[in-house]
Structures are given as structure tokens and as C-alpha cells.
Amino acid sequence: MGRVGITIATGAVLIGVLGGCGQGTATAPGSSPASPSTAPGRAQALTVRTISVKVRNGKASGDTGQVTVPLGSPVVISVSSDVADEIHVHGYERTVKVPAASTASVAFTANKPGAFAVELENPKLALLQLQVG
């Protein structure tokens, strides 16, 4: 029925993403391409920031809380979970499924400044807050 027009917020820096998973509900689950996109053209000798979080019995441990990475750094967020879930990096809108009793990683370049929540989707569990810049 009602035809929705143009979404204007595209490209704006998202501030205040701490409120949970309210955004991005239009994305179809299961259709996200799992290929980490790298930009080989302007790769500098940047250190990969590896962030590791372990989730057991609904509790996150490891690199939780606020994690600061420099703008432009390659980031790998590795989550080990005892239950099947989905990692969601807000702002960057990266989602990766993690099977039960295993580890999955989200790799991206932190090229947007700001503060971004990283969560597990199904219990809406906050893992960490990624501070870029």
C-alpha cells in the first residue's frame, strides 16, 4: 500500500547507536555477503587490530567495554560463542553468523569515525563499544 520514498539518512555518521538493534531492520537476514572487502590500493603499513571476545552462558568476556582503534585501521573482531548467534557491528552494518561452540570473525576497515556498538543479535548482548578515531 503506502509507498515509502527516499531514505535520507544514508551516509550520515551515526551517533548514538547504543540504543540496541533498532536500526537496519530492513536488511534481509542471511543475504549479507561474507566477503571482507579490502582496499589494496591505499594500504599503508597499518597494524591489524584484533579484538577477541568470548561469550559463555550469555556473558561476554575478553576485549569488552570500550575499545579504541585508530581511524583507517584494519579491524578483526573475533567472537567465540557457546551458542549459535550473529555478530552485528553497528554503523558499519557487518553481520556474521557464529555457529554454536565456535568462533567467527568480522573483518573490516575502521574508516568511519565514531562510537559503534558490537553485539550478538539473538539475546541482544552488548559485546563492546568500538571507538574509532
State the residues that interact with Cu ion by CB under 5 A.
Answer: 21, 88, 119
Cβ at position 124, least distance to Cu ion in Å? 7
Nearer to Cu ion, 14 or 21 (CB): 21
Count the neighbouring beta carbons within 10 Å of the beta carbon of residue 42.
7
Q: How far apart are the C-alpha atoms of 127 and 96, rounded to whole Å? A: 14
Nearer to Cu ion, 63 or 119 (CB): 119
Q: Residue 2 CB, nearest distance to Cu ion (Å)?
A: 27
If the CB atoms of residues 64 and 72 are measured against Cu ion, the closer one turns out to be: 64
Amino acid found at 90:
H
b/e code 56-68 from CB counts within 10 Å (16+ = b): eeeebeebbeebe
User: Shortest gap between Cβ of 120 and Cu ion (angstroms)?
Assistant: 8
